[in-house]
Amino acid sequence: MQPKTNLMCYLLSGINGIVFIIMISSCGGENVDCLVTSTFVFLNRTNHIIITSEGVINPNSELSIRQEGLGPCSVKASNYVPPFLGETNIIFNNDKCLVYQSEKVGRGEGPAGIDNYVSKRISKLHYEFRYEFTDLDYEKAEDCN
């Protein structure tokens, strides 16, 4: 009787070990978050002062915003979310306004949509995104109410 009991214990231990290894390998980093970084650079290619919810951009200069947070360890540019969400108001010279809308988080018009930026991978977990305001934006703007 003793050999069968030992054999059964070894068999159960082996099965438990295999199940444990399968569970560990199936978790393989999918649920692990990493610290990801984004740098958003807003370029003002106009002769007008631009006021945004993130700051003022003087004529022919830029505004840089760095963000850090948890995200997937195999991050792509499309995983990032720009700093402008919802209704985004861009004000030129305190008198002309341009409103952009987000359709959903990270998707939308102008600086509200991540697809509207030129992205550059800085490192595995760091991307830089550039957005340019041009005279075309100023021409689309309407008088502020």
Task: For residue 34, give the amino acid letter.
Answer: C
Phi and psi at residue 76, in whole multiples of 5°? -120, 165
**pLDDT for 106:** 64
pLDDT level of residue 87 (50, 70, 90 thresholds): confident
In 45-138, the DSSP E strands lie at 50-52, 55-57, 62-72, 87-92, 96-104, 107-108, 118-123, 126-133
**pLDDT for 6:** 45
**pLDDT for 118:** 97
Give CA–CA dist 48/133, Å, rounded: 10
Asked if residue 5 has pLDDT above 50, the reply is no
User: How open is the CA angle 120-124-128, to the nearest 5 degrees?
Assistant: 25
Burial degree of 85 (CB within 10 A; 0-12, 13-18, 19+): middle
**pLDDT for 121:** 96
- In 3D, which of 34, 57, 30 has the Cα closest to residue 44? 57
Asked if residue 119 has pLDDT above 90, the reply is yes
Whether this prediction's pTM lies above 0.85 is answered by no
pLDDT level of residue 39 (50, 70, 90 thresholds): very high
**pLDDT for 130:** 98
* Residue 127 or residue 72, greater confidence: 127
